[in-house]
Amino acid sequence: MAISKTNRRLRIRRGIRNKISGTADRPRLSVYRSNKSIYAQLIDDATGRTLVATNTVEVGQSSVNIEASKSVGKKLAEKAAESGISSVVFDRGGYPYHGNVKALAEGAREGGLKF
């Protein structure tokens, strides 16, 4: 029996999460993508707290496209700067580093976050 697309992504995600972890000084930038929205949050894995979060609805976009993803990344970087966070570890959540995920990362870099 073939592995479904979702199960394959979750398997890749587990491998990524075994290798990276966020701290208070350098939180994990976690990305989740759905058909209608893209979500990004900065997580301190030591305490299990979300420090900063944003999504396409908060930015004022009604659908997911490259421009919306880039604006989510910029908004996240802006909120992170207000919280005093300048450096993060990128967790693509098992998604390929392509399209909307790549645009979100580039927007966060333009906003001032260091990966």
Distances (CA, A) of 68 to 21, 49, 81, 89, 102: 27, 26, 20, 22, 12
Q: Mind listing the pLDDT tens digit for each residue in 11-55?
A: 999 999 999 999 989 999 999 999 999 999 999 999 999 999 999
For residue 95, give the amino acid letter: Y
pLDDT, mean of residues 59-73 = 94
Q: Are 85 and 77 in contact (CB under 8 A)?
A: no
Q: For residue 4, what is the DSSP state? A: P
pTM for the complete prediction? Answer: 0.91
Percent residues over pLDDT 70 in the chain: 99
Q: Give the CATH number of domain 5-110.
A: 3.30.420.100
Q: Where are the domains of the chain?
A: 5-110
